[in-house]
């Protein structure tokens, strides 16, 4: 993957939308500058919160999973759960995700770094992972493409994508997303 494709992938993953067409016409330097600028904005926006989420993760070690799951379902919104989850190991994340609904885990996966989300899906029981992926096919199809860019082949066989997903307009997708979509066929 070229540097420009990496910058575009980074920007695409920030939203559940395709990037405007003009991004494909930008030079590698332009996309690198935009990537750097957006990263600085995000860093400023998130400053201080990372340490807070890291502290919460450390606290989780002393709370039984059934309490964490109960609290999470009632009081923790998916974007917050995602920030906390990214501070956990895959093993810790799986032990909590198993007790959550597929919809909640799918909503949370939207906000988790794509590679971590793919690892989490691969580590979950097949039945639960299948339900999560089916939910995401319907609600977050572009996010599925981002997550599956980091997925092993066995994950592609987990659930059959709906026709709407397979037949989507490829003209608005980046090369990376088109390549992932082709792997589903």
Which one, of 46, 17, 22, lies nearest residue 34 by Cα?
22
Question: Can you give the pLDDT at residue 162?
Answer: 94
Confidence check: pLDDT of 10 > 90: no
Provide the mean pLDDT of the chain. Answer: 89
Model confidence pLDDT, tens digit, residues 62-118 = 888 888 888 888 899 999 999 889 888 999 999 999 999 999 999 999 999 999 999
Pairwise CA distance, residues 152 & 154, whole Å: 6
One DSSP character per residue, 19-41 reads PPGGGGGS-HHHHHHHHHHHHHH
- pLDDT average, residue stretch 151-171: 91
Q: At 21, is the pLDDT very low, low, confident or very high (cuts 50, 70, 90)?
A: confident
The one-character DSSP state at 1 is -
Confidence check: pLDDT of 24 > 80: no
pTM of the model: 0.80
Pairwise CA distance, residues 66 & 16, whole Å: 32
Q: At 142, is the pLDDT very low, low, confident or very high (cuts 50, 70, 90)?
A: very high
- pLDDT average, residue stretch 111-131: 96
Confidence check: pLDDT of 16 > 80: no
């Amino acid at each position: 993957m070229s540097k420009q494709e990496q910058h575009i992938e980074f920007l695409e993953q920030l939203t559940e939308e395709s990037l405007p067409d003009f991004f494909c016409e930008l030079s590698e330097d332009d996309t690198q500058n935009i990537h750097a600028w957006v990263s600085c904005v995000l860093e400023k926006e998130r400053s201080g919160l990372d340490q807070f989420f890291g502290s919460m993760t450390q606290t989780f070690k002393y709370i039984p999973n059934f309490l964490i799951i109960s609290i999470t379902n009632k009081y923790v919104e998916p974007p917050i759960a995602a920030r906390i989850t990214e501070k956990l190991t895959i093993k810790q994340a799986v032990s909590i995700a198993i007790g959550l609904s597929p919809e909640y885990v799918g909503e949370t996966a939207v906000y988790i770094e794509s590679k971590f989300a793919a690892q989490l899906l691969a580590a979950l029981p097949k039945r639960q992972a299948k339900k999560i992926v089916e939910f995401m096919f319907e609600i977050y199809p572009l996010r599925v493409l981002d997550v599956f860019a980091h997925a092993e082949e066995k994950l592609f066989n987990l659930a059959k994508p709906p026709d709407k997903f397979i037949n989507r307009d490829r003209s608005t997708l980046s090369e990376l997303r088109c390549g992932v979509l082709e792997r589903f066929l």
